[in-house]
């Protein structure tokens, strides 16, 4: 498989602050690549460097083996985390403007606009001004502007933020459709659950450094099955300080428990019964990405401030 | 592939030209301009007339002038309303300071409009004092000064044995008119000469254009600033700079907005030319067939000189626009809100307001060292050099030097601003300090 995008030893400092330190990863053509990390980890800076909006201090970024990424900007679609549209322009005109900036001719772009608006069920909004749209509609328009020029590489920075469940599903299906049609997608987020369901490959960034990189399945396997999911009634208080567990993510009636060793599940189950916790389900599972992330950060001597 | 700068220009241009604001200013601006000219000329000839009776107290220490004054006032239109005398003179005697203070107090309480002190030695050199609630009612003051001066002079003449008629016949001033000698050749082979009316028409046109230049640079530089700010606050700028380099975006924006102004000017010029060319048939529609000589002269001057003045106007407007707008674009880029940008942009406005104010003094001394030096300060040139070109054409080398100087400034400003702009549009939060700006400029 050929690498569409490759980053090698990329560094970026802003004054005294190191935003990105020695980041390397490569993205295979046709994959959905998850760029993960809490807010402020350096994700947006990395994406801006890929888009040639800011220049790295050191290291190289290559697109299809070419270092002059500015020649390929028309083949990349970028949906920034901070986004907006010209409020006083008509929907069609805004999309047309950005499509032309991406190298599409007017006639060609107009056809694509109609097609996409129909697909998003926004056709009747084409002549409305952007400031008349609801937030969700504006987000969908923004997504259209990202993909209208049929880019090879699509970069989505927190694409799901602010979307309702229906639109989330719509967007997720679109991402898969685009991938199946040959596009490569970089999906940057701090919400681990979304990545788990969509991505083939992941890269975990923390404080500007790569903690983990690779195929999602392989990453999970190296962490082994030291996680337990339990459903219970009442309270988990009695076992909160159990000697067997390393961490616990409690949701009230459901909890994900990280054990110190994979084989500790037996004594832990026994303890649950002895302390009288009313367990209705107990299952040994692969760790969630969230747990993997927490473990990796702790292994590097860091502390995770729970991301939002 | 479509050119990206052209795409940016097109957007800036069409969104503005299609807006209601453009259409409104296209029609309203000339109306407002004419209105302003008419209003100020109306105010200039408007006289200080009153319908109410105004009481004017006179303390006449000579005891002889008051009666003559009363007769003279009745003859002057300044003191009349529809043929009726509206000023009432009353003689008061006030020998002590208390009595005079009392009179002043009556002025203060509006019982008296004003009070006048004529000293005993007024024929020699005494000072006549006029007390009123405002000392800016020059029209009344001047009329009174003339009346009293005439009376005093008559008395002096009489004492010396002349009659007033004889003296005023002998003392009348000569007719005096100023003719500007031009650098161009006239019909007789010598330098061409311009009559006062021609000068007035030419300079009037020049003034109008300086004013338009000043107004439009301020208005549209602010428009550029708001546009940059909009892209920044709506965050669309990140999408744009992922396809276009920031300096391309900035350049496209400036060219787009400048074209909007030029479009408006060109439409006005076309209308103006049509109007001036067809002024006679147009006026005959209104039943005016024979035009006064002066009017024909004014029209002739405008026909003859406007092509050159307009050419200079376009050059100085375009350069001036780029010079100021680039700076305003930077202000938009480093600020986070409209209020903040207005505040930060305030000092910049001085760069164009200062030469505009200076112009009113400097046009009297267009070739003095001060004028020449100030007109070569790049940020002052669009106004001051353009003023000099209108009033007294500087040598060609000086104009060329000036234009190159301005172009160099535009380049330098663009280079530095472009860098700050590039960083600024992606920075949110606190406005940067001057030190940070300097760092950004050197990235």
- With CA atoms as reference, report the closest residue to B246 among B256, B261, B257, B231: B231
In this predicted structure, what is the pLDDT of residue B48?
66
CB-CB neighbors (< 8 A) of B2 in chain A: 100, 103-106
Let me know: does B103 contact B92? Beta carbons within 8 Å: yes
Rounded Cα distance between B68 and B71, Å, is 5
Chain B closest-CA separation from residue A74 CA (Å): 7
Contact B7 A101 (CB under 8 A): yes
Rounded Cα distance between B183 and B190, Å, is 9
Nearest CA in chain A to B238: A80
In this predicted structure, what is the pLDDT of residue A301?
64
CB-CB neighbors (< 8 A) of B21 in chain A: none
- With CA atoms as reference, report the closest residue to B219 among B345, B309, B89: B345
In the predicted model, what is the mean pLDDT of residues B93-112? 89
Rounded Cα distance between A79 and A71, Å, is 19
Let me know: does A158 contact A188? Beta carbons within 8 Å: yes
Contact B243 A73 (CB under 8 A): yes
Nearest CA in chain A to B425: A53
Segment 227-246 of chain B within 8 Å of chain A by CB: 230-231, 233-236, 238-245
Query: H/E/C letters for each residue in chain A?
Result: CCEEEEEEEEEEEECCEEEEEEEEEEEECCCEEEEECCCCCCHHHHHHHHCCCCCCCEEEEEECCECCHHHHHHHEEEECCCCCCCCCCEHHHHHHHHHHHCCCCHHHHHHHHHHHHHHCCCHHHCCCEHHHCCHHHHHHHHHHHHHCCCCCEEEEECCCCCCCHHHHHHHHHHHHHHHHCCCEEEEEECCHHHHHHHCCEEEEEECCEEEEEEEHHHHHHHHCCCEEEEEEECCCHHHCCCCCEEEEEECCCEEEEEECCHHHHHHHHHHHHHCCCEEEEEEEECCCHHHHHHHHHHHCCCCCCCCC
What's the token pair of residue B77? 């239109």
Residue A239 neighbours by CB distance under 10 Å: 22
In this predicted structure, what is the pLDDT of residue A226?
78
In the predicted model, what is the mean pLDDT of residues B399-409? 94
CB-CB neighbors (< 8 A) of A98 in chain B: 239-240, 243
CB-CB neighbors (< 8 A) of A105 in chain B: 2
Test mutation, A16, A82, A87, A155, chain B, max B CBs within 10 A: A82
Three-state DSSP class for residue B378: coil
What's the token pair of residue B140? 């009344």
CB-CB neighbors (< 8 A) of B4 in chain A: 100-101
Confidence of residue A305 (pLDDT cuts 50, 70, 90): low
In the 8-state DSSP scheme, what is residue B133? S
Rounded Cα distance between A87 and A90, Å, is 8
Segment 424-443 of chain B within 8 Å of chain A by CB: 426, 428
In the predicted model, what is the mean pLDDT of residues B88-95? 86
Better-scored residue on pLDDT, B281 or A95: A95
In this predicted structure, what is the pLDDT of residue B377?
92
pLDDT at B85 over 70: yes
How does pLDDT run across B233-286, given as a tens digit for each residue? 888 888 898 888 888 899 999 999 999 999 999 999 999 899 888 888 888 888
Phi-psi category of B140—alpha, beta or left, where left has phi over 0 and alpha has psi -120 to 50?
alpha
Confidence of residue B427 (pLDDT cuts 50, 70, 90): confident
Nearest CA in chain A to B236: A84
How many A/B residue pairs have CB atoms within 8 Å? Answer: 66
- Give the range among A178-182, B324-328, B354-358, B422-426 with minimum mean pLDDT: B422-426
In the 8-state DSSP scheme, what is residue B430? S
- Give the range among A39-53, A283-297, B363-377 with minimum mean pLDDT: A283-297
How does pLDDT run across A256-289, given as a tens digit for each residue? 888 888 788 888 888 888 888 888 898 888 888 8
Contact B7 A51 (CB under 8 A): no
In this predicted structure, what is the pLDDT of residue B255?
95
CB-CB neighbors (< 8 A) of B235 in chain A: 80, 82-84
In this predicted structure, what is the pLDDT of residue B399?
94
Confidence of residue A92 (pLDDT cuts 50, 70, 90): very high
How does pLDDT run across A235-250, given as a tens digit for each residue? 888 888 888 888 888 8
* pTM for the full predicted model: 0.81
Rounded Cα distance between A242 and A297, Å, is 22
Residues B245/B250/B256/B259 CA torsion (nearest 10 deg): -130
Test mutation, B242, B248, B422, B425, chain A, max A CBs within 10 A: B242
Contact B235 A88 (CB under 8 A): no
Three-state DSSP class for residue B81: strand
Three-state DSSP class for residue B129: strand
Contact A82 B239 (CB under 8 A): no
Residue B221 neighbours by CB distance under 10 Å: 26
Radius of gyration of chain B (CA): 30
* Cβ-based burial of B62 (10 A; exposed 0-12, middle 13-18, buried ≥19): middle
Better-scored residue on pLDDT, B443 or B213: B213
Segment 132-151 of chain A within 8 Å of chain B by CB: 145
Nearest CA in chain B to A94: B11
Q: Is A85 in CB contact (< 8 Å) with chain B?
A: yes
In this predicted structure, what is the pLDDT of residue B443?
66
Q: Is A53 in CB contact (< 8 Å) with chain B?
A: yes
In the predicted model, what is the mean pLDDT of residues A290-299? 80
Contact B7 A85 (CB under 8 A): no
Residues B12/B18/B21/B25 CA torsion (nearest 10 deg): 100
Contact B240 A53 (CB under 8 A): no
Confidence of residue A302 (pLDDT cuts 50, 70, 90): low
In this predicted structure, what is the pLDDT of residue B315?
95
Confidence of residue A304 (pLDDT cuts 50, 70, 90): low
CB-CB neighbors (< 8 A) of A99 in chain B: none
In the predicted model, what is the mean pLDDT of residues B62-69? 89
Q: Is A72 in CB contact (< 8 Å) with chain B?
A: no
Percentage, residues of chain A above pLDDT 90: 25
Nearest CA in chain B to A55: B443
In this predicted structure, what is the pLDDT of residue B84?
82
Residue B63 CA to its chain's centroid (Å)? 48
Rounded Cα distance between B217 and B204, Å, is 20
In this predicted structure, what is the pLDDT of residue B263?
95
Contact A53 B7 (CB under 8 A): no
- Please state, in angstroms and as integers, the Cα–Cα distance from residue A132 to each residue in A85, A125, B134, B371, following that order: 12, 9, 57, 54
Q: Is A98 in CB contact (< 8 Å) with chain B?
A: yes
CB-CB neighbors (< 8 A) of A106 in chain B: 2
In this prediction, the answer to ipTM > 0.85 reads: no
Q: Is B383 in CB contact (< 8 Å) with chain A?
A: no
- Please state, in angstroms and as integers, the Cα–Cα distance from residue B334 to each residue in B224, B347, B420, B423, B433, following that order: 14, 15, 8, 8, 10
Of the partner residues A98, A104, A106, the one whose CB lies closest to the CB of residue B239 = A98
Residues B46/B48/B53/B58 CA torsion (nearest 10 deg): -150
pLDDT at B428 over 80: no
Nearest CA in chain A to B15: A89
pLDDT at B32 over 80: yes
Test mutation, B13, B230, B235, B238, chain A, max A CBs within 10 A: B238
CB-CB neighbors (< 8 A) of A48 in chain B: 238, 426
Percentage, residues of chain B above pLDDT 90: 35
Q: What is the mean pLDDT of chain B?
A: 88
Confidence of residue A113 (pLDDT cuts 50, 70, 90): very high
Confidence of residue A306 (pLDDT cuts 50, 70, 90): very low
CA atoms A290, A296, A301, A302: torsion sign: negative
Contact A86 B244 (CB under 8 A): no
Number of H helices, E strands in chain B: 16, 8
pLDDT at A1 over 60: no
Better-scored residue on pLDDT, B381 or A303: B381
Q: Which helix (H) or strand (E) holds B38?
A: helix B20-45
Let me know: does A53 contact B242? Beta carbons within 8 Å: yes
pLDDT at B189 over 90: no
Q: What is the DSSP string of B153-183?
A: HHHHHHHHT--HHHHHHHHPPPP----EEEE
Residue B396 neighbours by CB distance under 10 Å: 8
Rounded Cα distance between A208 and A7, Å, is 14
Confidence of residue A93 (pLDDT cuts 50, 70, 90): very high
Confidence of residue B290 (pLDDT cuts 50, 70, 90): confident
CB-CB neighbors (< 8 A) of A89 in chain B: 15
Rounded Cα distance between B238 and A84, Å, is 9
Chain B closest-CA separation from residue A182 CA (Å): 22
In this predicted structure, what is the pLDDT of residue A307?
40
Of the partner residues B8, B242, B244, the one whose CB lies closest to the CB of residue A78 = B242
Of the partner residues A78, A84, A101, the one whose CB lies closest to the CB of residue B234 = A84
């Amino acid at each position: 498989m050929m690498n569409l995008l490759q980053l090698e030893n990329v560094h970026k400092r802003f004054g005294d602050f190191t935003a990105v330190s020695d980041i390397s990863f490569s993205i295979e053509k046709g994959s959905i690549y998850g760029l993960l990390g809490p807010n402020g980890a350096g994700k947006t800076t990395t994406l801006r460097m890929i888009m040639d909006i800011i220049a790295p201090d050191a290291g190289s970024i290559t697109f299809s083996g070419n270092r002059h990424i500015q020649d390929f900007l028309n083949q990349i679609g970028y949906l920034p985390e901070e986004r907006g549209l010209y409020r006083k322009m008509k929907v069609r005109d805004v999309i047309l403007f950005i499509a032309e900036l991406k190298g599409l001719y007017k006639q060609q772009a107009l056809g694509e606009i109609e097609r996409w608006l129909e697909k998003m069920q926004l056709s009747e909004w084409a002549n409305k001004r952007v400031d008349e749209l609801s937030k969700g509609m504006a987000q969908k328009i923004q997504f259209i502007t990202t993909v209208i020029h049929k880019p090879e590489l699509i970069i989505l920075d927190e694409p799901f933020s602010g979307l309702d469940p229906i639109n989330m599903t719509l967007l997720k299906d679109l991402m898969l459709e685009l991938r199946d049609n040959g596009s490569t997608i970089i999906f940057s987020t701090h919400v681990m659950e979304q990545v788990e369901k969509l991505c083939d490959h992941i890269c975990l960034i923390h404080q500007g450094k790569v903690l983990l990189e690779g195929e999602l399945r392989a990453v999970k396997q190296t962490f082994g099955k030291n996680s337990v999911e339990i459903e219970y009634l009442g309270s988990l208080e009695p076992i909160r300080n159990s000697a067997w567990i390393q961490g616990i993510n409690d949701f009230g009636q459901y909890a994900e428990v990280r054990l110190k060793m994979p084989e500790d599940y037996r004594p832990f189950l026994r303890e649950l019964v002895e302390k009288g916790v009313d367990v209705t389900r107990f299952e040994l599972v692969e760790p969630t990405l969230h747990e993997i992330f927490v473990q990796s950060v702790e292994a590097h001597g860091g502390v995770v401030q729970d991301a939002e | 592939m479509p050119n990206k700068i052209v795409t940016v220009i097109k957007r800036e241009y069409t969104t503005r030209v299609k807006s209601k604001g453009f259409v409104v200013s296209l029609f309203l601006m000339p109306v407002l301009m004419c209105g302003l000219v008419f209003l100020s000329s109306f105010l200039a000839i408007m006289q200080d007339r009153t319908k109410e009776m105004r009481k004017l107290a006179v303390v006449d220490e000579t005891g002889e002038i008051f009666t003559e004054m009363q007769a003279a006032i009745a003859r002057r239109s300044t003191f009349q309303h529809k043929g009726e005398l509206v000023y009432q003179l009353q003689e008061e005697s006030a020998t002590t300071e208390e009595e005079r203070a009392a009179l002043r107090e009556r002025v203060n309480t509006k019982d008296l409009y004003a009070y006048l002190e004529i000293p005993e030695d007024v024929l020699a050199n005494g000072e006549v004092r006029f007390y009123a609630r405002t000392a800016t009612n020059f029209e009344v003051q001047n009329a009174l000064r003339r009346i009293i001066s005439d009376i005093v002079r008559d008395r002096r003449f009489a004492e010396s044995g002349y009659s007033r008629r004889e003296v005023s016949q002998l003392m009348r001033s000569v007719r005096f008119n100023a003719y500007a000698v031009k650098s161009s050749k006239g019909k007789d082979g010598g330098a061409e000469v311009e009559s006062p009316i021609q000068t007035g028409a030419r300079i009037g046109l020049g003034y109008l254009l300086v004013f338009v230049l000043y107004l439009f640079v301020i208005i549209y530089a602010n428009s550029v600033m708001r546009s940059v700010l909009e892209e920044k606050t709506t965050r669309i700028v990140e999408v744009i700079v992922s396809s276009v380099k920031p300096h391309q975006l900035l350049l496209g924006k400036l060219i787009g907005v400048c074209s909007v102004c030029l479009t408006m000017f060109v439409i006005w010029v076309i209308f103006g030319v049509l109007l001036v060319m067809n002024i006679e048939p147009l006026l005959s529609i209104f039943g005016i067939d024979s035009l006064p000589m002066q009017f024909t002269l004014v029209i002739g001057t405008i026909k003859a000189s406007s092509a050159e003045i307009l050419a200079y106007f376009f050059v100085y407007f375009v350069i001036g626009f780029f010079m100021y707008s680039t700076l305003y674009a930077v202000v938009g880029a480093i600020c986070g809100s409209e209020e903040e940008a207005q505040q930060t942009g305030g000092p910049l406005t001085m760069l164009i307001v200062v030469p505009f104010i200076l112009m009113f003094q400097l046009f009297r001394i267009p070739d003095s060292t001060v004028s020449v030096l100030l007109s070569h300060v790049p940020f002052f040139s669009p106004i001051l050099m353009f003023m000099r070109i209108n009033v007294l054409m500087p040598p060609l080398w000086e104009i060329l030097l000036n234009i190159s100087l301005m172009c160099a400034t535009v380049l330098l400003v663009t280079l530095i601003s472009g860098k700050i702009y590039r960083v600024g549009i992606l920075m949110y939060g606190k406005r940067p300090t001057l030190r940070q700006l300097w760092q950004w400029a050197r990235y």
